[in-house]
Chain A
Amino acid sequence: AQRVTQPEKLLSVFKGAPVELKCNYSYSGSPELFWYVQYSRQRLQLLLRHISRESIKGFTADLNKGETSFHLKKPFAQEEDSAMYYCALPAGSGSARQLTFGSGTQLTVLP
């Protein structure tokens, strides 16, 4: 079964420090992975998807099929990056439009 694991429930870093939010997955086939973010009192929104290979708000994520990981990285964290981050992947080949979400990592960037 498809599974997403985010091992860190809470992560705190200081402003200007690098940050890495971990995501590991189990999936048969070539996955399409996403990172969603939820800022305080805001709705969940897409941060980035690996198929786009883009950088949003300074964040990047590389799909590592060997390690089955899709870690989210930013070289210099900002206070406005404090939020809940969810990694997600398709729920199955027969229902490709569903997403399975990880349990989330609450990132706090300290001043």
Chain B
Amino acid sequence: NAGVTQTPKFRVLKTGQSMTLLCAQDMNHEYMYWYRQDPGMGLRLIHYSVGEGTTAKGEVPDGYNVSRLKKQNFLLGLESAAPSQTSVYFCASSNFAGVVSRQFFGPGTRLTVL
């Protein structure tokens, strides 16, 4: 099992460009999440999904959109990138089991917006 994978690993964008980050999991997990990691701020939840076809906003959703067309994939889109979106983005997934389940993380995508 590959677990949680993310594509791409690195990306540099110019302000105003758009891009999509892909997250894929092969563990048949119901829940998927997108976080951003910034120095001194820990991980902050951008959007999450509790199942195929559903998405919900997290703590910092502005400037991002997501889609969960297939259970195994969770896409994060930046329509018009801004320098404030320079960050490391992590995807995670978890089971529908118990009150709070362990989250499995991807390797991260390092995004720089110039």
Contacts and interface: CB of A to CB of B under 8 A. Distances in A.
Binding site of A, secondary structure by majority: helix, strand, loop or mixed?
loop
A44 B99 contact: no
Given A86-B43, A90-B100, A45 B33 contact: no
Contacts of A86: 42-43
**Highest count of chain A CB atoms <10 Å: which of B33, B42, B101, B102:** B42
Contacts of B45: 91, 98-100
Nearest to A99: B103
B31 A102 contact: no
A104 B88 CA distance: 15
Given A90-B100, A97-B31, A97-B100, A102 B42 contact: yes
A34 B105 CA distance: 14
Contacts of A46: 102-103
Contacts of A96: 99-100
Contacts of A20: none
**Highest count of chain B CB atoms <10 Å: which of A34, A42, A45, A103:** A103
Interface string B103-114: 101111000000
Contact of B105 (A9, A32, A45): A45
B43 A98 contact: no
A99 B41 contact: no
A75 to B, nearest CB: 25
Interface of A: 6, 9, 32, 34, 42-46, 49, 86, 90-91, 96-104
In the A-B complex, the 10 residue pairs with the closest CB atoms: A103-B42, A44-B105, A101-B43, A101-B42, A43-B105, A43-B107, A32-B100, A90-B100, A104-B42, A96-B99
